Structure 1
Amino acid sequence: MGRRPEFSLTQLLYFVTIAETGNISEAAERLHASQSAVSAAIQRLERQLANQLLVRHHAKGVSLTPVGKLLINDARAILRQAHALNHYSSRLQGESAGCLDIASYYSITSFLMPRTLSRVADSHPRLTVNVHDVHSPIDLLLNGTCELAVTYSTTSSEKTRFTELIRPKLYALIAESHPLADAKMISLADLASDPILMADIPSSCYYTYVESAFRKAEIPMPQIISATGMETMRALAGAGVGFVLTHHRPQSLDTPDGSRTALVEITDDLPHLSIGVQTLRDSKPTRRARDFVAALRTTAQQIYVPITTG
């Protein structure tokens, strides 16, 4: 790629306007700029291009030099392209169309995304959403792959802004045969002697959250049994191997192998954990991103039971 041009679109606009009016003062009036500012900008442009573009006629305005005549059409074309790009950008900001790439934390995706994508397809048929189901969604936001990331509040960066969608309750998923399966509410202390089933990602934000929950409850972290995914953990919980801490309420308590589980609410005063959206702190969300987040919020409010205070 060649070196970056030193001149600006404003200088080209001044040049074209002067060429059309044949007079610097008249061009300045049309541009709502001072005559001195317009003259200085053109002089800089001539220096940067190493060519004289205008011939100044005392008290008779200006005319184009041969080089100026060669460049005027190219200058007009560049300004038209810039205007078209600006118009296209404005159109994308004003309607939900095109393609939106989002990153989603792996344990959230299967619960939130199906209904959200269906809702978006119904209300914004010209919008295509690509979901990147990953363990580190914020990385895809920071490197520019995705416009937003759906995460827990424990995932953060100085360069991002977190918008809370919901603060859900925490549950224990246990076997239907577990002695506490019929209880409406239990504490972490009630499960202290049972192994805890965790996804095999020890550095994940959710792993950190679970550790902080037991630490705040002043209970030692239980024995950890690692599994590769939520379906495996549900099956192991149904078989009585251990319990799963989750904010999600599965539509079915049946497991893939035919056993059944129970979902019991945890009553401890737990560390704050929200599900929400991360965006770049210094960027303004597009219309398509805002519409997607609105659909996501509606889905979250349907799926999760929020913590109530008071």
Structure 2
Amino acid sequence: MLRYTLRQLEYFVAVGETGSIARASERINVSSPSISSAISQLEAEFGLPLFVRQHAQGLSLTQAGREMLVQAQLVLREAGAMMDIAGDIAGTVRGPLSVGCLLTFAQLVLPTLRKGFEADFPDVRMRQHEMNQVELFSALRRSEIDVALTYDLELPADLQFTALVLLPPIALLSADHPLAQQTSVTMDDLSKHPMVLLDLPLSADYFLSLFDVIGEKPVIAERTRDMAVMRSMVGNDFGYSIANVRPLSDTSPDGNPVRVLPIAGDVRALRMGLLTAQDAARSNAVRAFIDYASNLVATGQLDRIGGQPLA
């Protein structure tokens, strides 16, 4: 007879993945004492220590804990699949939904999507994760996330992409930049000036490839992995930068004006959309999320980020 619950397994997985009861508490919105008690009960039931308690460094999984974590993740995924089957039969959308989003535009798109989706589907328990492109691919393959909002950058053949918006590249410049008063710029214009490169895996390769069309190399003055830092560096005239999602504000995070100009000529646009594993569409929650995001685009509710709707 089983003497542990799915809820206890959920708490164990949250601690195992975050390495901290405090972080797990924030992630699943459950009090730390409740999580700690559940872990102790599981260890007593299994007769195994699952974690090594390190006061300065949080919790580390034991060898047994690492093996049990893999199995617990599998059990929770299968339990979620049972909820999907029940939802299909009953015609309801419920259960957990883990959504990943590309770091470069998560702050502009994901909160809006999540708020509206959770209002329409209150029985779905949604979690979000901000990652770079390579991390999103890995998380989907390991079933750590169910769906990812991202660009069509180097998409693997084993993942399925639903396009939502076509986003051409744009240039971000300070108000004092020599090109700031133009109505548009070309890649040739930009190649003559210092660049602040958003240096994320695959994203950086895309930005650099835009210069291949003109046979030039950019003058990279600064690199950053943070979108907000990039905009502040542009606002402080360290150089221009290139992005695909239009900022909602015409100022940098530290208050300096930033101009956004279209890039004229033969430049590759990116498609923003939803990426899933090949079998993810069997989930009622994933299907509902894709349909909700497509409708949001079709009704113009994401027009503020720029681009051409494809959904």
- Residue number in structure 2 paired with 1:189: 188
Contact 1:159 1:282 in 2 (8 A): no
Q: How far did 1:219 drift?
A: 2.3
Instruction: Measure, in 2, the Cα distance between the counterparts of 1:158 and 1:281.
Output: 10
Instruction: Measure, in 1, the Cα distance between the counterparts of 2:117 and 2:82.
Output: 25
Instruction: Measure, in 2, the Cα distance between the counterparts of 1:131 and 1:117.
Output: 9
- Residue number in structure 2 paired with 1:40: none
Contact 2:172 2:234 in 1 (8 A): yes
- Residue number in structure 2 paired with 1:305: 306
Q: How far did 1:265 drift?
A: 0.6
- AA paired with 1:269? D
Instruction: Measure, in 2, the Cα distance between the counterparts of 1:160 and 1:101.
Output: 16
- Residue number in structure 2 paired with 1:289: 286
Partner deviation per Cα, 1:199-228 (whole Å, 9 max, x = no partner): 343xx1211111221112322232241124
- AA paired with 1:116? L
Instruction: Measure, in 1, the Cα distance between the counterparts of 2:80 and 2:247.
Output: 46
Note closer, same or farther for the CA distance 1:288–1:89 as it changes in structure 2 (3 Å cut): closer
Give the gaps of 5 or more residues in structure 2: 1-78
Q: How far did 1:103 drift?
A: 1.6
Structure 1 position 266 matched with structure 2 position 263: yes
Structure 1 position 92 matched with structure 2 position 103: no
Instruction: Measure, in 1, the Cα distance between the counterparts of 2:80 and 2:115.
Output: 31
> For 2:107, what is the secondary structure of its paired residue?
helix
Instruction: Measure, in 1, the Cα distance between the counterparts of 2:213 and 2:184.
Output: 18
Identical residues among aligned pairs (%): 21
Partner deviation per Cα, 1:239-271 (whole Å, 9 max, x = no partner): 111111111111212123221110001112122
Instruction: Measure, in 1, the Cα distance between the counterparts of 2:260 and 2:235.
Output: 11
Q: How far did 1:296 drift?
A: 2.6
Partner deviation per Cα, 1:278-298 (whole Å, 9 max, x = no partner): 111244342211221233332
Instruction: Measure, in 2, the Cα distance between the counterparts of 1:306 and 1:86.
Output: 36
Alignment of 1:185-224 (within 5 A): 185-201=184-200, 204-224=201-221
- Residue number in structure 2 paired with 1:149: 148
Contact 1:217 1:268 in 2 (8 A): no
Q: Runs of 4 or more off by more than 3 Å in structure 1? A: 84-89
Note closer, same or farther for the CA distance 1:178–1:89 as it changes in structure 2 (3 Å cut): closer
Structure 1 position 229 matched with structure 2 position 230: no
Partner deviation per Cα, 1:133-166 (whole Å, 9 max, x = no partner): 1122111000111111222101311211111111
Contact 1:101 1:148 in 2 (8 A): yes
Instruction: Measure, in 2, the Cα distance between the counterparts of 1:88 and 1:248.
Output: 36
> For 2:211, what is the secondary structure of its paired residue?
helix
- AA paired with 2:277? L
- Residue number in structure 2 paired with 1:161: 160
Note closer, same or farther for the CA distance 1:183–1:96 as it changes in structure 2 (3 Å cut): farther
Q: How far did 1:193 drift?
A: 1.8
Note closer, same or farther for the CA distance 1:244–1:127 as it changes in structure 2 (3 Å cut): same
- Residue number in structure 2 paired with 1:138: 137
> For 2:140, what is the secondary structure of its paired residue?
helix
Give the gaps of 5 or more residues in structure 1: 1-83
> For 1:181, what is the secondary structure of its paired residue?
coil
**Superposition RMSD on alpha carbons, in Å?**
2.5
Q: How far did 1:238 drift?
A: 0.6
Instruction: Measure, in 2, the Cα distance between the counterparts of 1:248 and 1:107.
Output: 8
Contact 1:166 1:301 in 2 (8 A): no
- AA paired with 2:229? T
- Residue number in structure 2 paired with 1:252: 249
Structure 1 position 104 matched with structure 2 position 101: yes
- AA paired with 1:306? G
Note closer, same or farther for the CA distance 1:190–1:88 as it changes in structure 2 (3 Å cut): closer
Pair member with larger Rg? 1
Instruction: Measure, in 1, the Cα distance between the counterparts of 2:302 and 2:230.
Output: 25
- Residue number in structure 2 paired with 1:23: none
Partner deviation per Cα, 1:183-206 (whole Å, 9 max, x = no partner): 2211111111222212343xx121
Q: How far did 1:87 drift?
A: 7.1
Contact 1:168 1:247 in 2 (8 A): yes
Contact 1:171 1:264 in 2 (8 A): yes
Q: How far did 1:170 drift?
A: 1.6
